[in-house]
């Protein structure tokens, strides 16, 4: 009987246990690989975000340094406060809006279309 038991163990239980162990190992490995992929993807996205934010930060730093210059202050004083240097004269040019060049096409002797005619033209693309 003990020999039968050992044969049963070697022929049935051991291969099943080995298969289950291999399946568990592959499942765990696939979970780790998937988690690693997600972390790498998030890391890549965060690096791109950091890069964009650094560019914006540099842009705003440049703006701040420009706003601190005398040239900017003088420009703003001229535009908003009407500042002028001695010997200069200020000339105001009025904003003249050009009339719109969109022309409206109107036929002279046309009658309004009936609703049924409008629907007919809409569906069958008939033009007069």
Written as one string, the DSSP assignment of 85-113 is: -TT---------PPPP-PPPP--SS-PPP
Q: Is 68 helix (H, G, I), strand (E, B) or coil?
A: coil
- How confident is the model over 78-87, as a mean pLDDT? 83
- Give, for 66, the enclosing helix (H) or strand (E): helix 14-67
Token pair of 128 as six digits: 């007069």
- How confident is the model over 58-65, as a mean pLDDT? 96
Residue of 42 and 119 predicted with greater confidence: 42
> Does the residue 44 lie in any domain?
yes
Residue of 19 and 111 predicted with greater confidence: 19
> Does the residue 92 lie in any domain?
no
- If one counts the domains in the chain, the total is 1
Q: Is the pLDDT of residue 98 over 80?
A: no
* Cβ–Cβ < 8 Å for 109, 101: no
pLDDT of amino acid 61: 97
> Does the residue 50 lie in any domain?
yes
| Domain enclosing residue 2, as ranges | 1-81
Q: Among 52, 51, 49, 29, which residue's Cα sits nearest to residue 41?
A: 49
Token pair of 87 as six digits: 């010997």
pLDDT of amino acid 11: 79
> Does the residue 59 lie in any domain?
yes
Q: Is the pLDDT of residue 26 over 90?
A: yes
Q: Among 101, 104, 82, which residue's Cα sits nearest to residue 92?
A: 82
pLDDT of amino acid 127: 55
* Cβ–Cβ < 8 Å for 67, 61: no
């Amino acid at each position: 009987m003990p020999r039968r038991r050992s044969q049963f163990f070697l022929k049935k239980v051991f291969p099943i246990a080995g298969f289950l162990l291999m399946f568990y190992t592959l499942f765990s490995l696939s979970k780790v690989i998937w988690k690693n992929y997600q972390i790498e993807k998030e890391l890549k996205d965060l690096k791109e975000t950091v890069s964009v934010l650094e560019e914006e930060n540099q842009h705003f730093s440049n703006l701040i340094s420009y706003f601190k210059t005398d040239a900017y202050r003088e420009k703003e004083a001229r535009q908003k406060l009407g500042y002028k240097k001695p010997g200069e004269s200020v000339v105001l040019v009025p904003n003249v809006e050009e009339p719109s060049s969109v022309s409206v096409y109107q036929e002279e002797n046309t009658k309004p279309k009936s609703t049924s005619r409008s629907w007919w033209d809409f569906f069958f693309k008939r033009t007069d």
